[in-house]
Amino acid sequence: MKLRDPHKIIISPVITEKATILRERENKYMFYVHPKATKEMIKRSIEELFNVVVEDVHTHNLPGKPRMRGRFVGRTPARKKAIVKVKDGQTIPFFEGLI
């Protein structure tokens, strides 16, 4: 499967307390990304979508967690998360109005 569209690589932003602290202190942003996306694909997509310079990309594969609904056992979906460091002085405008 070829991932060329940046909108298919970057699934959604992560908006949590930890993500907010990283954004304010270290200029890092968190996103859920496609499980088969590489760091280079993620970097290129962020730069294209938000017109910023990406310095570094870290990724984490998050396994699904077991969940029970009554007597039925299932799992939450596995996800991949990317932490993207943006060049100092630049921001991603999507996150600016969230506080």
Is 61 part of any domain? yes
Domain count along the chain: 1
What ranges in 1-99 are assigned the alpha helix state H? 6-9, 17-26, 39-50
Rounded distance between C-alpha atoms, residue 4 and residue 72, angstroms: 38
- Flag whether 98 is in a domain: no
pTM, two decimals, is: 0.87
Quick check: is 1 in a domain? no
CATH code at 20?
Answer: 3.30.70.330
pLDDT tens for 22-34 read 999 999 999 999 9
Q: Which of 78, 79, 31, 88 is nearest to 58 (CA)?
A: 31
* pLDDT tens track for 37-92: 999 999 999 999 999 999 999 999 999 999 999 999 999 999 999 999 999 999 88
Which residue is associated with the tokens 């999507």? Answer: 94
The DSSP letter of residue 51 is: -
For residue 99, is it within any domain? no
